[in-house]
Structure 1
Amino acid sequence: MGGIVKGVVVDHALLQFQNGNGDNNKNPIFLLLRKLRFSNIRAAISYELSLPAELVNLLQSTAELHSLECLPVSASSLDIAPRQISLAWPGVSGTILYLLPNCNASPSITCISFPVAPDVDITNSHHQSNMIYMDKLEELPLTICRINKQAISNNVVTVGYVMKPSREEDFAKRGAFPLCPTPNGLIFFPLTFELPISTQLEEADAILHKATDEIVSIELNSSSEPSYRITYTTGMQELQRYIESQSHCIEVDPLNSIYPVLDRLKILQILLGLEDLSKEGCCKIRAPHFLKVNDFNEPDLVQRLQDAKLSLPSIVKPQVACGVAESHSMAIVFRVEDFKGLSVPVPAIIQEYVDHSSTLFKFYVLGEEVFHAVKKSIPNADILMKSSERTDLRPLLFDSLKSLPTATGNQHSGCENLSLDLGLVKEAAEWLRRMLGLNIFGFDVVIQEGSSDHVIVDVNYLPSFKEVPDEIAIPTFWDAIKKKVKSNHKQ
């Protein structure tokens, strides 16, 4: 069929253009073509020269907005257009796909696949084109995956991934999800719930998911295990059924392994096992002290706080850690009477507020490699209590994704000589990797003033690891996936 796909051209008639300001900016077809740029695949819109000038201007302006090209052709024919496209892209070497409407209506799209090479005289050569038929443009990434896989004799690992569009684009912009093979032999393609999952996964050797993006609701059950009942979107449910019934697709991290990071109580209970890593004469790494409450009006709350070694202020978090909007609604409580009527969703976790000189260490685990970054964090308790905005000591309410209260330059306690024991934290990272059965995850560490205890205050699955430079993070990310697939094949 030719070489690896290096260019895609879509006939304007497939775009279903809408006139009006901004209507085309979120056109899924343009968003789909934009993904190709992140895989170093040239993408363009073709249009016939006979089109009205107004439509041509709209095409060109929208294409430019999405960093796409516009290619004029004299006719959208199977013979003329490929030749003109080849002439317009003289430096491209590989396979070009040209998509146009199918005159027979069903399937609705004809895809012409033809090879090009810079040293070939297009005017005297005859393209040996192949015809591929599609019902929807959403099939394009899967089609490219098939062509690329065949072009390199199937000696690759194909990874189908699913996550919300904004997260996908953040990863793709960094080059994390190329449709062309990576140096270590991976091809990525997006799974879409617009197409049957079973058909897509026939091409996949591995599945990478951010399942928390597909959660509709989480119902907690305090009386038995598991402590939660998760409802996923219809598409994710279909994917889950397929995973359970098929053995050839390897989950980079299984759905069952991410469940503990959805439940703050469960993950804190797991973190209690960090005590086994402590060594005499050295600082220790530990979980924060915590208490689960089902009702902030519990009559014995004060005694329960004392039994849990909790003092005020304390930070209060919903037990559900992610996947639902209210999971990030938190509060810092300074007086015990203010627990009554607190707006944080229950069941909730009351957690130790660790004075840590406003310094947070974010750790990222990518397979066997561990990276970290230092970030500004919440001020120490005494600074929060002295703040002019806190004179009444009412609870400080915030959304941890949007409005986390961080220290300013003059809000440090003065005790900032915190020494990170990197070896200890890496040992904890490996311990967590074994305990959770995860390969790609992150966790946050703060160092307690005075004791120098290293306290893990949060664990999350498939973080962005954006603080790690792309040239280091992305190849390590690929290697973690490849090693996971290899290790599963050996079992």
Structure 2
Amino acid sequence: MLCCEQKALHAHTFCTAKTHTHSEHRGRNMGGVRGILLDSSVLLPSAGDDVSGDAVLRSGADFLLRKLLYSKIPTGISHEQDLSSPNECLLQETAKTYTCPIFYLSLQDDISSEVSRVWEDNGGCFIHVVSSFREDLYHGSGWLKVIVGSAEKRPSNDFEYVVATGMSSISIHKLEELPLLICNLNKKAMGKEALTVGYVMKPSREEDFAKRGAFPLCPTQNGLIFLPLNYGLPMSSQLKLVDAVLHKATDEILAIDMDSPSEFSDRVTFTTNLQELQRNIKLQLDCCVIDPFNNIFPILDRLKIQQILIGLETVNIQGRHKIRAPHFLKVDSFDEPNLDQRLAEANLSLPNIVKPQVACGVSDAHSMAIVFKVDHYKDLNVPLPAVVQEYVDHSAVLYKFYALGGKIFYAIKKSIPNADTLMNLFAEKGLKPLHFDSLKSLPVAKEGLSANSCQVDLELVNGAADWLRRTLDLTIFGFDVVVQEGTGDHVIVDVNYLPSFKEVPDDVAIPAFWDALKEKIVSGKSKQPTETS
């Protein structure tokens, strides 16, 4: 199924079919946690905290508020009337930043009556989070009081215990533990339908997904609950709560040694955090990983991807346009005396586009150059080893395709001009190599897209996407396609893992994202051996 979204490039719409969307895109609470009230005592530093200077939030407060901001669970702040002026200003600023209403309460107030005026009562429970010295605060009937920092010793499985017994209060050590409790309560309310996805990625990427509604703590309409994994807490106990782990391991790469003769998995050095995650995942045999770390290694290597893409020949049908890999050549040194001969043997004519063999995860993976003359290879400032790739004339039109499970979406974007246009633009500069960072300064054409430039064969690309999904065994990936002028060849020039698919409208993309994850988890569980097998 193919859908597209245009970034106001021109007035045409390119959709071959409408993607099925759920009638309701907002998460269902299903009797789980319906509201969270954070008392000022857990947000503001206590007398014993080592804090000086301006008023600041307590350790862990920012972490928790960021997670709750896009959780689809109403969140508020409660505090007494007699706060100091700096602290009250800080709470007001915090409430504005995280869109939390403030409830002014005293020890005698019935919180439930105050909150019901603001939040809809749709079943489930409210949570009131207080510090140990405010645990006598009256929280109303039907509430769960969560006490932070209590010295009370608790059983290691108390999250499960409080869910099973219906206790009215529970103690946790840190604010960062609250998402685990919320997850457990919501999972209990959902019953066997619920599947929990623990996710981990760099903060900026996580926020981009979260603000689009991709990671709610309350259940989605297809029964997923998302739990942010926290390296500051024991990872083993967190993984016991989840059915699957969604990761962006390419965010956690420290180095890749392309010169090593060992297996690719041994050439990649991940952060200590990711290594800890990998170790703990191995102990959870029934935990689905989206996607297995070994499956993403080909995406890290541009040479490997080019070699895999050669297999697209099996997708082509005689008498129609073909989809293919670009011509390419690996180069270990730009000073090779017979480089021009090697380029010719690889069917590479000038200009060429030169890319580092390392495709992502390191700082210079996107440092590229367009080379107009063979002499330009000398002293070329592109990291080695490198992949020289065919420069395809494509009318400055790039198709970005996104595979979310079995659904395919695409967007159309402006791209680099044809070779003759590019050479004319830079002729006055002596046609020196054109260096650029593909994430920041791609030299795109200034003119808009022409009406006859968007002639992509969607059926052909759909077949290629299915082939890539089977070959790479990835759940969510992206790939870029250009259509060669003259021949009509569809050339896949890039493949990437877990892209943001930000060009696809959220009300279409996010349900498709959830469906892709659930399909992967359910499929993985069906392949696990049973106790009697």
- The TM-score with structure 1 as length reference comes to 0.89
Change (3 A) 1:81 1:300: farther
**Partner residue, 2:35:** 7
1:102 matched to 2:132? yes
Shift of 1:206: 0.8
Q: How has the CA–CA distance of structure 1 residues 295 and 23 changed in structure 2, closer, same or farther, with 3 Å as cutoff?
A: farther
Can you list the C-alpha shifts for 1:12-49, whole angstroms capped at 9, x where unaligned? Answer: 2323567878976x986235324323232111222211
Task: Please say if 1:139 is aligned against 2:154.
Answer: no
Structure 2 counterpart of 1:368:
406
- In the alignment, residue 36 of structure 2 is paired with which amino acid? V
Report what 1:304 is aligned to. Answer: 342
What's the counterpart of residue 353 of structure 1? Answer: 391
- From 321, 325, 334, give the equivalent of 2:363: 325
Match of 1:408 among 425, 446, 452: 446
Distance 1:226 1:174 in 2: 34
Structure-1 separation of matches of 2:40 and 2:427: 57
Give SS of 2:409's match.
strand
In 1, the alpha carbon distance for the partners of 2:95 and 2:395 equals 49
Query: Does the aligned pair in 2 maintain the 1:357–1:415 contact within 8 Å?
Result: no
State the partner residue of 1:62.
94
Q: Is the 8 A contact 1:113 1:130 kept in 2?
A: no
Taking only the aligned residue pairs, the percentage that are identical comes to: 54
Distance in structure 2 (CA, Å) of the matches to 1:415 and 1:81: 64
Q: Supply the AA of the counterpart residue of 1:73.
A: L
The one-letter code sitting in structure 2 at the alignment partner of 1:58 is L
2:489 aligned with 1:453:
yes
The secondary structure found in structure 2 opposite 1:481 is helix
Q: Distance in 2 between matches of 1:22 and 1:102?
A: 21
Which is bigger in relative contact order (C-alpha 8 A, separation at least 6)? 2
- Is the CA contact 2:44–2:56 (under 8 Å) kept in the aligned structure 1? no
Q: RMSD in angstroms over aligned alpha carbons?
A: 2.8
Answer yes or no: is the 8 Å Cα contact 1:220–1:228 preserved in 2.
no
Residue identity in the other structure for 1:259:
F
Unpaired runs of at least 5, structure 2: 1-29, 46-50, 144-165, 528-533
Q: 1:204 is matched with which residue: 242, 263, 281? A: 242
Distance 1:251 1:59, change over 3 A: same
| Equivalent pair of 1:111/1:134 in contact (CA under 8 Å) | no
What residue in structure 2 maps to residue 91 of structure 1? 120
Trace 1:166-315 onto structure 2 (pairs within 5 A): 166-221=204-259, 223=261, 225-226=263-264, 229-315=267-353
Q: Secondary structure at the match of 1:152?
A: helix
* AA matched with 2:38: V
Q: Which shifted more, 454-463 or 477-486?
A: 477-486
Q: Could you tell me how far 1:358 is from its partner in structure 2? A: 0.5
Contact 1:445 1:455 in 2 (8 A): yes
Alpha-carbon distance change, 347 to 69 in structure 1, aligned in 2, over 3 angstroms: same
Asked if the contact 1:289/1:351 (under 8 Å) is kept, the reply is yes
Q: Secondary structure at the match of 1:327?
A: coil
CA contact (8 A) 1:257 1:437 kept: yes
* Conservation of the 8 A alpha-carbon contact between 1:415 and 1:449: no
The match for 1:45 is 77
Deviations 1:330-373 (A, max 9, x none): 11111111111111111111111111001001111111111111
Shift of 1:416: 4.7
Distance 1:280 1:297 in 2: 41
Q: Quick one: which of 501, 506, 524 aligns to 1:465?
A: 501
1:468 Cα offset (Å): 1.4
Question: Where does residue 515 of structure 2 map in the other structure?
Answer: 479
Letter in 2 for 1:485: I
Query: Aligned equivalents of 2:378 and 2:141: distance in 1?
Result: 69
Alpha-carbon distance in 2 for matches of 1:246, 1:383: 56
The amino acid across from 1:70 in the alignment is I
Question: Is 1:422 aligned to residue 458 of structure 2?
Answer: yes
For residue 223 of structure 1, report the CA deviation from its aligned partner. Answer: 3.9
Structure 1 counterpart of 2:474, which letter? L
Who is 1:442 aligned against?
478
Deviation at 1:114, TM superposition (A): 6.5
TM-superposed deviation, 1:159: 0.5
Deviations 1:400-451 (A, max 9, x none): 11111111117x8x89545211111110101001110111111000001011
**Alpha-carbon distance change, 389 to 89 in structure 1, aligned in 2, over 3 angstroms:** farther
Counterpart-to-counterpart distance in 1, 2:309 and 2:80: 63
CA distance in 2, matches of 1:352, 1:111: 70
- The total of aligned residue pairs comes to 470
Q: Residues 401 and 28 (structure 1 numbering): CA distance in 2 closer, same or farther, change over 3 Å?
A: farther
For 1:162-183, what per-residue CA distance to the aligned partner results, in whole angstroms no more than 9, with x for missing partners? 1111111111111111111111
SS in 2 for 1:331: strand
Residue 121 of structure 1: aligned partner: none
- The CA deviation string for residues 368-394 of structure 1, in whole angstroms up to 9 with x for no partner, is 111111111111111111115753111
Unaligned residue ranges in structure 1 (runs of 5+): 117-127
Given that 2:484 and 2:491 are in contact with CA atoms closer than 8 Å, whether structure 1 keeps it comes out as: yes
The amino acid that maps onto 1:461 is: Y
CA displacement at 1:147 relative to structure 2: 0.7
Q: 1:417 to 1:151 in 2, by over 3 A?
A: closer
CA contact (8 A) 1:96 1:113 kept: no
Q: Which moves more between the two structures, 265-274 or 385-394?
A: 385-394
Equivalent position amino acid for 2:302 in 1: R
Counterpart residue type for residue 115 of structure 1: G
- Give the distance between the partners of 2:372 and 2:266, measured in 1 at CA: 30
